[in-house]
Structure 1
Amino acid sequence: MGYYELPVGAVGVGTQPPEADGAELNYQAMPEGMSTFAMPEIPEPDVVAELLEARRLLDEVQSALSDYRAGDPPSLFELGQLDRDNLALVDQLLGEGEVSIVITGQSQTRIQESVLAGLWRVRYLDREGALLRDTLEVADIPGLVRQATFAAAVEHLLLPDAPLPEGVLNAPPLVAELDEKSLAYRPGVEPHVINLTLLPQTEQDLAFLDRLLGAGSVTILSRGYGNCRITSTQTRYVWWVQYFNSQDANILNTLEVTDVPAVACAAPEDIVDSAQRLHEIMEIYR
């Protein structure tokens, strides 16, 4: 399995030169072990003639992709019952796509989109990293992302009573705006986006916002529209969304109020295309 890691120094807070007084800011590092896009290889029919369980499961997955419509609950398929050879065929046919997700907490969940948009591999791990459960999920985004991201998040974002740190100039109005929009947000409402790249934010402003919003449990890396890093905060419905160019320089830094940023989700037309592509693959084995 390949891995992809953006350099820590390219991200939001910490991208500016050090302060003249030598002070340094601490900010959350990028997660390690994110998987990247890899084209699958299609084995010849005679090679996999005996692997009926994998083929039967993928036929069911193809049907679920064909039936899926935006807003539908995810369709879930357990992989734990497959033996090594059948599981290897599933791995080989589905490959690794453009979106990787890590959910941390008392345990960890690692999610990898397949080369078929809208079809996700979801692995549940214990604290030591041992696999507890292995599944496939048909959805625009796996259900756990919507269910768990903000389950323990705070609802109000308020300025501290203490004086603001030196250099914090333009963050307070954004705090009020984020508090208002996050309280008003409901799933299905148009996202509210604050483009920090276009605002006169100091390094201290960004660090202050980072500390106030808190670090959430979900990190998403997407390569669908260039390199994009998406991280949840501890404030309900508030995400950092950051885009990088081919040199991994941060070119767009935003805060987005939504349940899940659209850039992380599979588009309906892409899921339709995935259903057709999987149908064509499985026709080879019929």
Structure 2
Amino acid sequence: MPDKPYYGRPIDIPVIGEGSQPGIDGDENFNFTQSPGAMHTYDMPLIPEPEEVKNLTIAKSILAQLLKTIDAHKAGDPAVGFDISDIDAANTDLINQVFNEGEVSVLYQSDTSVQIQESVLTGIWRIRVTNESGEPISDKIEIGDIPSIVREKTFLNSTPIDTNLEKTPENVLNAPPLVIELSEKMEAWKKGDMHHVINLTLLPLSTEDLHFLGERLGVGPITILSRGYGNCRIGSTSKKNIWWVKYFNSEDKLILNTIEVIDIPEVATAAPEDLRDSAERLREILEVYDVDIG
């Protein structure tokens, strides 16, 4: 695969488990590479002039194919992928400039590392796969409300919740009933059900309670960061359809700490109107380059 620039952000997010829950004073021990900024609004990407890219027919052809795909795509449909691993650097650079970086980043960590960055056009994702040594394996673009790997791999190796509460650590008082509740909701939840949310912010939970919850839920392979005004940090657990979802304000202060039972938290997905808007914006870009889109 050619050595090409990648415009994704690295993510290092211990979402749950020892040391990751808020302390008594409300602090967070997350390790993010960038702090949240102001609310994002769409601006037309700074793209090259038409005469500068007149020979980059491969990139323009791919962009036209992407437009046709997103025009026909509906939220909830399986994501559609386009492999660009073997495209030369000049054509790749045009694609990079058109899509740039949006508000949502996803990391899948397993035997390979998959780093995913949503573009400025919501619902269009850049996906980079590397091996354990950090060497690139593949590079592709997907159209979808969420990348395919999130639907397919998040809970592939999920395990049951340990509900044995005979020997709980000292100062773990209010977490045990939550473990039972989550186990019951996990077993009962089915596709199409509303999400079940436990708002931990409103509950009298000690640091030990939170650590106990983290240990019983485990850590899954998917981490999602959704930036906007402040941000939302989402971590899959090792239990099917259970997510740890934390909201922060623009000063990176934890304002809402929740656990959700759902296949994918709604805050992480592109809405139908987002996909329609992205199609229109991509069409405007292609018109600048006088690309025949049929």
What residue in structure 2 maps to residue 197 of structure 1? 201
Per the TM alignment, residue 4 of structure 1 is displaced from its structure 2 partner at its CA by 7.6
Q: 1:206-256 deviations in whole A, cap 9, x for unaligned?
A: 110011111111110001353110001111111000001111110000000
Q: Identify which of 11, 23, 29 aligns with 1:15.
A: 23
Give 1:68's aligned amino acid.
H
- Separation (CA, whole Å) in 2 of partners of 1:63 and 1:79: 17
Q: 1:138-179 deviations in whole A, cap 9, x for unaligned?
A: 00001111110000011x323335521111111111111100
Q: Is the 8 A contact 1:35 1:100 kept in 2?
A: no
- Separation (CA, whole Å) in 2 of partners of 1:7 and 1:70: 27
Normalising by structure 1, we get a TM-score of 0.89
- Separation (CA, whole Å) in 1 of partners of 2:158 and 2:14: 25
Give 1:282's aligned amino acid.
L
- Separation (CA, whole Å) in 2 of partners of 1:34 and 1:133: 29
1:270 aligns with 2:270: no
After superposition, the Cα gap between the structure-2 partners of 1:259 and 1:106, relative to the gap in structure 1 and judged at 3 Å, is same
1:137 aligns with 2:142: yes
- Separation (CA, whole Å) in 1 of partners of 2:117 and 2:286: 21
The structure with higher relative contact order (CA 8 Å, sep 6+) is 2
What residue in structure 1 maps to residue 189 of structure 2? 185
What residue in structure 1 maps to residue 94 of structure 2? 89
- Separation (CA, whole Å) in 2 of partners of 1:89 and 1:262: 31
What residue in structure 1 maps to residue 106 of structure 2? 101
**Secondary structure at the counterpart of residue 59 of structure 2:** helix
**Secondary structure at the counterpart of residue 221 of structure 2:** strand
- Separation (CA, whole Å) in 2 of partners of 1:28 and 1:147: 29
List alignment gaps of at least 5 residues for structure 2: 1-6
What residue in structure 1 maps to residue 128 of structure 2? 123
Q: 1:83-140 deviations in whole A, cap 9, x for unaligned?
A: 1000000000101000000000111100000000000001111011111010000000
Q: Is the 8 A contact 2:74 2:272 kept in 1?
A: yes
**Secondary structure at the counterpart of residue 82 of structure 1:** coil
Per the TM alignment, residue 81 of structure 1 is displaced from its structure 2 partner at its CA by 2.6
Per the TM alignment, residue 82 of structure 1 is displaced from its structure 2 partner at its CA by 1.2
Q: 1:18-71 deviations in whole A, cap 9, x for unaligned?
A: 9xxxxxxxx985465899979631211000000000000000001111111122
Q: Which deviates the most, 35-44 or 135-144?
A: 35-44
- Separation (CA, whole Å) in 2 of partners of 1:103 and 1:139: 17
1:73 aligns with 2:81: no
Normalising by structure 2, we get a TM-score of 0.87
Q: Is the 8 A contact 1:12 1:250 kept in 2?
A: no
What number of residue pairs does the alignment pair up? 276
Q: Which deviates the most, 253-262 or 161-170?
A: 161-170
What residue in structure 2 maps to residue 249 of structure 1? 253
What residue in structure 1 maps to residue 284 of structure 2? 280
**Secondary structure at the counterpart of residue 223 of structure 1:** strand
Give 2:84's aligned amino acid.
L
Aligned counterparts, 1:33-52, within 5 A: 40-52=45-57
**Secondary structure at the counterpart of residue 228 of structure 2:** coil
Per the TM alignment, residue 183 of structure 1 is displaced from its structure 2 partner at its CA by 1.0
Give 2:239's aligned amino acid.
T
- Separation (CA, whole Å) in 2 of partners of 1:130 and 1:7: 21
Q: Is the 8 A contact 2:237 2:243 kept in 1?
A: yes
Q: Is the 8 A contact 2:84 2:141 kept in 1?
A: yes
- Separation (CA, whole Å) in 2 of partners of 1:222 and 1:246: 13
